[in-house]
Amino acid sequence: MTTTATVQGHNLRKTLKIGEERVNALDNVSIEIYPGEMVAVRGRPSSSKSTLLHILGCMQRPDTGKVSIDGLELSALSDEELVKVRGQKIGFFFEAFNLLTNETAS
């Protein structure tokens, strides 16, 4: 029995503008994540880990390449459709916990 990857990113490229400079954040990156897998994205600071996660999490679009989640190819989806996919299929744990800066749990 062959298992299909739940999340697939193939040949992802993303260029970012930092000041007046253009930086290749992702250059032909591919990743496949299968059901039940636990994946860690590691790298030195400014190595574009967040850019990759933002693309896989439907928060950014790659300049080129394809992303699919559960067999649904995302490039042709509208922003509204991506919001629905993100809400139904993706969960995030943020490293910064300042989403509600002035609130307490009491």
Q: Is residue 29 a contact partner of residue 9, using CB atoms and an 8 Å limit?
A: yes
Domains belonging to the chain, first-starting first, are 7-89 (3.40.50.300)
One digit per residue, pLDDT tens: the chain, 106 residues? 567 889 999 999 999 988 899 999 999 999 999 998 989 889 888 889 989 999 999 999 999 999 999 999 999 899 999 999 999 988 877 666 655 666 666 6
Query: What pLDDT does residue 4 have?
Result: 82
Query: What pLDDT does residue 45 have?
Result: 87
pTM metric for this prediction = 0.81
Query: What pLDDT does residue 5 have?
Result: 84
Query: What pLDDT does residue 90 have?
Result: 87
Q: Is residue 13 a contact partner of residue 25, using CB atoms and an 8 Å limit?
A: no
